[in-house]
């Protein structure tokens, strides 16, 4: 059953071009060392659950100003009834964006087919052959590639949070080439790493890439993407 | 021992004492240059009070023992000894030295009682006989002090005490000296502006100009309270019923103004108002000069005004000069303007001018057919012909503002307001809208003036301090060349405390407060009229163009402000504005009442009365503190902490109210149409990097779906002092070099300033702001 454990009523940085509300589902099938939502995902017993009704009411009452809902987490697609949630919320007429790690291509397919979501933001955790570093799921690379195929012709963006020690300039170059080859190079964002309450506590001591370093990285991979940006 | 012997011993002792102290007497030294004369001896004896007969006797005695070369100084002890023998009382007076007065002209004059009498009559207009008797008492008192010399300031203080003793209060008020204690000056020089005196402006630095500014401001404020504001109007200010703003300028300056620069493009620039004292510039030919004229108008005018200096339709007036120029040339001119205003540390205590500009995204209807003043001051078509140029200038200007200064820090000034009209949401204006929001996303500085709602008249303008003008009083041209004369902020929570929940009582008190405020506003109107026309103290404002005075004094606003509506509502209804329907309705009722009252006064007096949601930097804290003193902290509802109390700004919802965004708008928007004198809504953005397109979307929604008239996004940010690294949010350490020496910036009631410069109450308010992020949000 879908569990909503946090809610941002209004955000200007979660869906470009939209004034969005954000709901966080607590549950995930990955264990990315650089995750800073670990408490929300693995330790949310004490957080009060928010009912979908509450979210719907809020969206109805604020329809004048909020025109998008972002579903994030955790990994929303671990909940088998996610499509039901989307269906409920769609009754308000609002646009929905899904943040996902791409590990559930079947659900992604369903959501897109049934017009339950309007935009997909998929995290690319690492170069595609290194996903073993963030999850134990067997055949994960295949699943990721399937998801990429599914969203290829939809509204989407891809993004990678770059962590010194895990993502080098060369890694990103390799990834960029891969993504271009697959044909999912419409929109890509390099995201800054925040060394706060990370899942792997060692990473809290890591100094993030400086803005200049990120700029340089962006320049390097820019030729492979139609649109590229930095989120710091 | 025979009497004579005893007397003799006594006298010789006295003479010794006399001689010993002679060196301390100024008149002794003067007399060393004076040759002995019989007449001089007589005069000295007579001045000491001796009878004519004794004077003769003494003079003859001394005649016998001097020669031609004797100086008067040598003879003095002899005179003293002889007086001691013949007339001891006179000897005492002779021994008490002649009193010399150090006057303000840096010279010494012999003390002369008649001078006191004359000055009393001149300065206070009192009766000669009364003045003379005060003078006599003063002299008698001074004699008891046994001084060698005295200065005029000290004499004045003594006279004031005498006037006080006699209950001559009116005369004392006219005769007293104003200024500040020695201690305060030393504090200011040594420790900076950290004394209690005036942290009203967050812009002040620690320089000699600032110290001058504070001292003169303090003195003129004393003057205003002593001589201009009658006590029945001054007492409520002091006790905190209301707060009269910028009292230090009551005597000499009106508040703020929206300048109309085409006049200077047409006629050239006389910064002194007359052209006689300094260089006069002609009508500009080039954009670079025209824009410099704009900057200098603001600088010159600031010397004669207390508050904001603004130019409405800034890009429209400049558009005729933009035609035919390359992007580079336009950028260069705009850059000069921006730097000029940020780097001229010359106004009001060594601050930069409080500068504002309003931009139109296109050419507004009311200007389409107005003849355009172009190069050389010549008419060149109408403004409607220059939309392309106006927009081009706007875009280049914003790009420069986005760039920031050479360290990538944002330019604090001028405050930019962009007037958004319904047609600006079409694709046609997307470039301009996009740039505006990239600017906002980066720095959060500009304001959006919303021209969409019904209640906003076709022509309107705003300033960073939120002063607003519109077409209602004197048509669209009534928004130009004029501004606010004075405003007063009403302490609403106190009315709540005094009314004790009784509705009738509340509004009765409200009415009587507003009556007093009206008196103050009318009084200031008269003062400004006098300063402009009788005292001719404001030559820049009264300079004439085409036979008419530049400054449209008759259109200036006299404004009622207010603070702490939510606290007042809580006291009166039991809940804050955002907590219950009845509180919400009460709040609106109060401000509606104020607006109705202002409208009535406008009708009655033919003057432009208005209501403003006060910007309330120091005021919010002061009123809260005064109420705590008077009513006790248990009874006062305020929104800060024990050490840093404050009342919430105007009608704004409590800083930490946990309400959704749409709700905040719903609660605050109705006040905007009521406050024709000005208002603002703040949107706190928190630490995440907002997306410019999302903000653009939000602006569209706010403009088209609410009655909000003026709003601004606030991004807090920090700049590292050693390495200039720029970071969003109020950070503790630099993400680039790890230093903890950061300057933190946030918006203070309408303009950006460093957090360090704030008074404690404002710092507290900052902590309270409810931000729209995951950390603080708990929905349910």
State the pLDDT at residue B577.
97
Of A19, A22, A211, the CB nearest to B701: A19
The rounded distance, in Å, linking the Cα atoms of B578 and A29 is 42
pLDDT of B202: 45
When CB atoms are compared, the residue of A22, A58, A232 closest to B660 is A58
pLDDT band for position B766 (cuts 50, 70, 90): low
User: Which of B696, B702, B736 is the closest to A210 by Cβ?
Assistant: B736
CB proximity A9 to B under 8 Å = yes
Q: What percent of chain B has pLDDT over 70?
A: 89
A to B CB pairs, distance under 8 Å: 86
Least Cα separation, residue B636 to chain A (angstroms): 32
- What's the pLDDT band for B256 if we cut at 50, 70, 90? very high
CA-nearest residue to A58 within chain B is B660
Interface of B with A in 687-716 (CB under 8 A): 688-691, 693-698, 701-702, 705-706
CA B318 to CA B311: how far, in whole Å? 11
Q: Is A227 within 8 Å of chain B by CB? A: no
| pLDDT tens per residue, range A189-227 | 999 998 878 899 999 889 899 888 999 999 999 999 999
Indicate if the pLDDT at residue B756 is higher than 60: no
- Asked if pLDDT for residue B174 goes beyond 50, the answer is yes
Residue B648, pLDDT score: 92
Give the model's confidence band at B776: pLDDT under 50 very low, under 70 low, under 90 confident, else very high.
very low
Query: What is the rounded average pLDDT for all residues in chain B?
Result: 88
Q: Which residues of B108-144 are buried (b: 16+ CB within 10 A; e: fewer)?
A: eeebeeebbbebbbeebebeeebbbebbebbbeebee
Given this model, what pLDDT does residue A85 score? 97
Q: How many CB atoms within 10 Å of residue A207?
A: 11
φ, ψ of residue A220 to 5 degrees: the values are -60, -45
pLDDT in the model for residue A80? 96
Asked if B390 has any chain A CB less than 8 Å from its own CB, the reply is: no
Q: Please give the C-alpha separations between residue B707 and each of A175, A187, B67, B591, B657, in angstroms, as whole numbers.
A: 49, 37, 100, 16, 21
What pLDDT does residue B644 have? 79
Type and span of the H or E element at A73? strand A68-73
Residue B686 pLDDT: 67
Question: Cβ contact (<8 Å) for A8 and B665?
Answer: no
- pLDDT over 60 at B4, yes or no: no
Handedness of CA B303, B304, B309, B313 (dihedral sign): negative
Residue A232 sits at the chain B interface (C-beta within 8 Å): yes
The pLDDT-based confidence of B715 (bands split at 50, 70, 90) is confident
- A208 contacts B691? CB cut-off 8 A: no
How confident is the model over B187-202, as a mean pLDDT? 59
Beta bridge partners of B717: B728, B745
In a 13 Å sphere around the CA of A212, the CA atoms on its Cβ side amount to 4
How distant is the alpha carbon of residue B601 from its chain centre? Answer: 26
Instruction: Report the distance separating Cα B465 and Cα B481, nearest Å.
Output: 17
C-alpha distance from residue B471 to each of A197, B169, B438, B474 (Å) = 56, 47, 31, 6
The pLDDT, as a whole number, for residue B734 is 74
- When computed from its CA atoms, the radius of gyration of chain A, rounded to whole angstroms, is 17
Name the pLDDT band for B772 (thresholds 50, 70, 90): very low
Starting at the earlier edge strand, list the strands of the sheet with B257-259.
Answer: B257-259, B309-311, B355-360, B415-420, B447-450, B710-714, B681-684
- The answer to whether residue B430 neighbours chain A at the CB level (below 8 Å) is no
Q: 3-state class of A199 per DSSP? A: coil
Q: What percent of chain B has pLDDT over 90?
A: 64
Q: What are the tens digits of pLDDT across the range B103-138? A: 766 666 767 788 899 999 999 999 999 999 999 899
Cβ atoms of residues B745 and B717 within 8 Å: yes
Q: What is the pLDDT of residue B730?
A: 72
Peptide bond before residue A74 is cis, with ω within 30 degrees of 0: yes
How many C-beta atoms surround the C-beta of residue B681 within 10 A? Answer: 22
Write out residues in chain A with pLDDT < 50, as ranges.
Answer: none
Interface of A with B in 18-47 (CB under 8 A): 18-20, 22, 24
Per-residue pLDDT at B340 exceeds 80 = yes
Q: Which residues from chain A sit within 8 angstroms of residue B705, using beta carbons? A: 64-65
B304-317 pLDDT, tens digit per residue, is 999 999 999 999 99
Can you give B358-371 as a three-state secondary structure string?
EEECCCCHHHCCCE
**Interface contact A61-B662, CB threshold 8 A:** yes
Which candidate from B694, B702, B777 shows the least CB-CB separation from A9?
A: B777
Which pLDDT tens digit goes with each residue over B485-521? 999 999 999 999 999 999 999 999 999 999 999 999 9
pLDDT of B650 above 80: yes
Cβ-defined contact of A64 to B706 (cutoff 8 Å): yes
Instruction: Answer yes or no: pTM beyond 0.90.
Output: no
B773/A8 Cβ within 8 A: yes
Predicted-complex ipTM score: 0.91
The more confidently predicted of residues B661 and B160 is: B160
Query: B352: which DSSP letter?
Result: P
d(CA B445, CA B319): 24
């Amino acid at each position: 059953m879908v569990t909503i454990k946090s809610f941002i009523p209004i955000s200007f940085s979660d869906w470009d071009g939209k004034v969005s509300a954000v709901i966080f589902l607590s549950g995930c099938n990955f264990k990315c060392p650089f995750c800073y939502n670990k408490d929300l995902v693995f330790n949310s017993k004490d957080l009060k659950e928010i009912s979908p009704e509450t979210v719907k009411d809020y969206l109805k009452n604020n329809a004048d100003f909020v025109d998008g809902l972002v579903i994030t987490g955790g990994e929303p697609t671990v909940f088998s009834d996610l499509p039901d949630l989307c269906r409920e919320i769609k009754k308000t007429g609002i646009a929905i964006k899904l943040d996902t790690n791409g590990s559930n291509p079947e659900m992604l397919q369903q959501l897109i087919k049934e017009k339950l979501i309007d935009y997909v933001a998929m995290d690319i955790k690492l170069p595609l052959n290194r996903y073993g570093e963030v999850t134990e799921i067997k055949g994960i690379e295949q699943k990721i590639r399937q998801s990429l195929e599914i969203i290829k012709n939809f509204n989407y963006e891809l993004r990678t949070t770059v962590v010194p020690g895990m993502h080098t300039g060369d890694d990103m170059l390799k990834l960029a080439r891969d993504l271009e080859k697959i044909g999912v190079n419409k929109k890509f964002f390099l995201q800054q790493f925040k060394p706060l309450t990370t899942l792997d506590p060692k990473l809290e001591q890591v100094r993030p890439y400086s803005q200049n370093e990120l700029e340089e990285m962006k320049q390097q991979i820019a030729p492979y993407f139609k649109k590229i940006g930095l989120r710091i | 021992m025979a009497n004579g012997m005893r007397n003799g011993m006594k006298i010789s002792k006295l003479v010794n004492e006399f001689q010993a102290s002679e060196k301390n007497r100024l008149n002794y030294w003067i007399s060393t240059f004076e040759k002995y004369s019989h007449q001089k001896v007589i005069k000295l004896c007579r001045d000491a009070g001796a009878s004519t007969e004794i004077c003769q006797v003494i003079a003859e005695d001394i005649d016998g023992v001097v020669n031609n070369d004797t100086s008067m100084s040598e003879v003095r002890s002899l005179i003293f000894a002889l007086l001691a023998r013949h007339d001891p009382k006179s000897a005492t007076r002779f021994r008490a030295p002649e009193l010399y007065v150090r006057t303000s002209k840096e010279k010494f004059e012999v003390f002369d009682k008649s001078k006191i009498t004359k000055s009393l009559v001149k300065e206070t207009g009192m009766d000669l006989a009364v003045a003379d008797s005060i003078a006599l008492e003063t002299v008698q008192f001074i004699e008891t002090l046994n001084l060698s010399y005295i200065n005029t300031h000290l004499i004045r203080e003594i006279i004031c005490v005498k006037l006080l003793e006699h209950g001559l209060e009116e005369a004392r008020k006219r005769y007293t000296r104003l200024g500040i204690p020695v201690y305060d000056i030393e504090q200011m020089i040594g420790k900076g502006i950290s004394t209690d005196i005036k942290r009203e402006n967050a812009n002040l630095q620690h320089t000699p100009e600032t110290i001058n500014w504070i001292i003169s401001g303090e003195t003129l404020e004393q003057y205003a309270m002593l001589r201009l504001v009658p006590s029945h109007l001054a007492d409520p200010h002091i006790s905190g019923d209301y707060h009269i703003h910028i009292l230090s300028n009551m005597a000499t300056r009106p508040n703020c103004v929206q300048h109309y620069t085409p006049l200077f493009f047409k006629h050239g620039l006389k910064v002194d108002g007359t052209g006689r004292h300094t260089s006069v510039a002609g009508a500009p030919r080039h954009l670079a000069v025209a824009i410099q004229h704009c900057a200098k108008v603001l600088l010159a005018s600031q010397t004669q005004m207390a508050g904001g200096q603004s130019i409405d339709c800034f890009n429209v007036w400049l558009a005729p000069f933009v035609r035919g120029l390359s992007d580079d040339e336009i950028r260069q001119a705009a850059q000069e303007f921006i730097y000029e205003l940020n780097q001229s540390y010359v106004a009001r205590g060594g601050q930069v001018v409080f500068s504002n500009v309003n931009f139109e995204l296109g050419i507004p209807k009311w200007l389409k057919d107005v003849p355009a003043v172009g190069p050389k001051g010549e008419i060149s078509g109408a403004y409607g012909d220059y939309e392309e140029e106006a927009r081009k200038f706007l875009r280049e200007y914003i790009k420069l503002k986005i760039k920031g200064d050479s360290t990538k820090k944002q330019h604090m000034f001028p405050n930019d307001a962009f007037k958004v009209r319904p047609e600006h949401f079409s694709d046609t204006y997307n470039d301009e809208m996009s740039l505006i929001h990239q600017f906002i996303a980066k720095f959060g500085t500009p304001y959006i003036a919303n021209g969409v709602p019904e209640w906003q008249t076709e022509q309107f303008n705003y300033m960073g301090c939120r002063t607003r003008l519109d077409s209602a009083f004197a048509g669209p041209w009534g928004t130009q060349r004029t501004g606010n004369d004075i405003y007063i902020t009403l302490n609403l929570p106190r009315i709540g405390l005094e009314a004790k929940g009784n509705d009738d009582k509340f509004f009765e008190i409200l009415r009587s407060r507003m009556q007093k405020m009206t008196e103050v506003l009318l009084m200031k109107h008269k003062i400004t009229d006098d300063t402009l026309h009788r005292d001719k103290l404001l030559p820049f404002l009264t300079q004439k163009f085409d036979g008419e005075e530049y400054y449209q004094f008759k259109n200036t606003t006299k404004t009622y402000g207010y603070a702490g509506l939510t606290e007042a509502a809580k006291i009166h209804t039991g809940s804050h504005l955002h907590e219950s329907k009845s509180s919400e309705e009460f709040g609106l009722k109060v401000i509606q009442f104020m607006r109705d009252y202002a409208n009535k006064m406008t009708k009655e007096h033919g003057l432009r009365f208005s209501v403003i949601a006060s910007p309330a930097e120091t005021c919010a804290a002061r009123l809260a503190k005064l109420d705590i003193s008077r009513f006790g902290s248990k009874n006062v509802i305020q929104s800060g902490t024990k050490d840093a109390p404050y009342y919430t700004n105007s009608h704004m919802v409590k800083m930490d109210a946990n309400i959704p965004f749409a709700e905040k708008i719903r609660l605050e928007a109705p006040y905007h149409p009521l406050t024709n004198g000005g208002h603002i809504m703040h949107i706190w953005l928190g630490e995440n990097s907002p997306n410019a397109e999302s903000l653009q979307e939000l602006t569209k929604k706010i403009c088209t779906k609410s009655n909000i008239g003026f709003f601004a996004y606030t991004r807090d940010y920090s700049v590292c002092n050693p390495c200039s690294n720029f970071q969003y949010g109020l950070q503790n350490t630099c993400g680039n070099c790890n230093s903890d020496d950061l300057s933190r910036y946030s918006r203070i009631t309408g303009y950006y300033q460093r957090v360090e410069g704030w008074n404690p109450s404002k710092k507290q308010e900052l902590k309270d702001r409810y931000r729209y992020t995951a950390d603080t949000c708990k929905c349910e």
